[in-house]
Structure 1
Amino acid sequence: MRFSDEPSFDPQESEEFHYIRPKSNQGPCNNRSRDPSPSRRQKSNSPKSAKNRDEKTQKPESASKNDRITERAIACLSRTMKYTNLKVVELQESICCLDQQVKDMCCEIEVLKEAFRLRASNAGMM
């Protein structure tokens, strides 16, 4: 995978170039011959080339890109958690409001029951 801000790689300028097949050419369905390219060089075992390989495999740029991606993901999760917390608070307030409305209606029902009893008892006296 290439990132747009990566420098382009020129095999002619490289001290040591190894042809790497694109992923689309790999796999059991590919019937092309696997002959090495003429531009491929064998890896040398010299300490200098080993050091160069180690430096190339470390890729400090990708580590910083991973750090940036991680920071973005953390920021996104943080925003999501804040939004979720706001929604939870809104739901709690709605529940409290509904609970109060239910209590008020229960009180009104009790008042209506009492009024009905009084009317019934007054009607019986007459």
Structure 2
Amino acid sequence: MSVAGVDRALAALACLAGLLGVALSAAAAHIPGADSLKTAAQFLLFHAPAILALIGFGTAGLARIGLARTASGLLVLGLILFCGDLSVRTWLQRPLFPMAAPTGGVVLMGGWLVGILCALVPVRRTV
């Protein structure tokens, strides 16, 4: 995959997270006691714009693109694990796999940590 393709893929995954967040919000509104589904929807909706912003900063040269992609990738992976586990538990009454949600939560925190580095580590400028 090309460099631009990676950014496009991450942006598409961010938009997919937003779409799924809206869909899970609607589903949770119709399922009594679906608090886990509401949580998954909120996480998807909160993280989708963050992923788009990180990729945007990286491609605009406002942040190191490698850090931006790493942070974005960690956020996507964390969402898959965390929200995937909460959703599977709601609908199938079993976990995605043992410790999937806690692992996803730790990966999400790692993504935010790399996002901090993305904001604080200066971009290399060539003159």
What TM bracket, shorter-length normalisation? Answer: under 0.3
Higher RCO, Cα 8 Å, sep 6+: 2
TM-score (norm 1): 0.24
TM-score (norm 2): 0.24
CA radius of gyration, larger in: 1
Q: Which has the higher helix share?
A: 2
